[in-house]
């Protein structure tokens, strides 16, 4: 059987945690920061854990973890 290829877009955007959850960058920080509150911007720092429903889709594109 041939090896499965990982989607290169997924490889750049997501990482798996040790327990198998999908870690992703926070959304809403690309542009338009002036209209967002300071509290919103503070909360969008760093990374977050993806919801299980969305993580199931992303994991299909990362066959070898």
pLDDT digits 0-9 by tens, 12-64? 999 999 999 999 999 999 999 999 999 999 999 999 999 999 999 999 999 98
CATH number of the domain to which 33 belongs: 4.10.410.60
User: What pLDDT sits at residue 65?
Assistant: 80
Tens digit of each residue's pLDDT (9 = 90 or more) over 2-13: 999 999 999 999
Number of domains in the chain: 1
Q: Whole domain around residue 22: which residue ranges?
A: 8-60
In a domain, 55, yes or no: yes
In a domain, 3, yes or no: no
User: What pLDDT sits at residue 3?
Assistant: 93
User: What pLDDT sits at residue 1?
Assistant: 87
Contacts of 24 (CB under 8 A, 6+ apart): 13, 14, 47, 48, 49, 50
Q: Are 62 and 4 in contact (CB under 8 A)?
A: no
């Amino acid at each position: 059987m041939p090896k499965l290829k990982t989607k290169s877009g997924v490889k750049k955007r997501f990482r798996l945690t040790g327990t198998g959850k999908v870690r992703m960058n926070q959304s809403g920080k690309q542009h338009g920061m002036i209209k967002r509150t300071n509290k919103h911007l503070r909360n969008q720092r760093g990374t977050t854990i993806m919801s299980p429903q969305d993580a199931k889709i992303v994991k299909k594109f990362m066959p070898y973890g």
